[in-house]
Amino acid sequence: MKEVFEYLKSLGIEYELDEHEAVFTIEAVKAAGLDKKGTVPVNLFLRNANGKRHFLVIHDGDKHTNLKMLEGQIGATHLSFGSAERLMKHLGLTKGSVSPFGLINNAEHDVEVVIDASIKWRERLGFHPNINTATVWISYDNLMKFIESCGNPVKFVDC
């Protein structure tokens, strides 16, 4: 978590922090009342059929992601969830803590970031700072500044 805050500071990104009990699902986020402070997107770590491509999908937590439709938009074959081992290897994260902030651990820049275009219009976004007992609130513009600084490819889709 400390690394995330240091990285945000180095980029001049302002943020707000809420610490809370561990949350693993959007339902738990809502039960904790975090959704009342802003949009808390769902973050999915996916892989393609042969496991050579990995994706961090960021989409509106109120929408269901249609993986078949997503496959066509990003040119991937048979998307499925990446294993805990792959998640740790590529983003240095554990299940339940998937977040764009994990990109600071992806030195190879091989995780492709896929963003639901509807996120662009949200004023305040909440993400785990690589641990699910806290939420960091940032603007969409600062999210993009962070992702661009990490050097990972980004694609926008309609989830």
Q: So what's the pLDDT on residue 4?
A: 98
DSSP assignment of 63-85, as one string? S---HHHHHHHHT-SS-EEPPHH
Single-letter amino acid code for the residue at 29 = V
Q: So what's the pLDDT on residue 30?
A: 86
| Cα separation, 99 vs 29, whole angstroms | 14
Q: So what's the pLDDT on residue 141?
A: 96
Q: So what's the pLDDT on residue 99?
A: 96
Of 119, 158, 159, give the one whose Cα is nearest residue 142.
119
In the block, tokens 């980004």 appear at: 154
Q: So what's the pLDDT on residue 115?
A: 97
Share of the chain above pLDDT 90, in %: 79
Residues of the chain with pLDDT under 70: none
Single-letter amino acid code for the residue at 20 = H
Put simply, whether the predicted model's pTM sits higher than 0.85 gets the answer yes
| Cα separation, 109 vs 71, whole angstroms | 20
Full set of structural domains in the chain with CATH = 2-157 (3.90.960.10)
Of 150, 134, 51, give the one whose Cα is nearest residue 100.
150
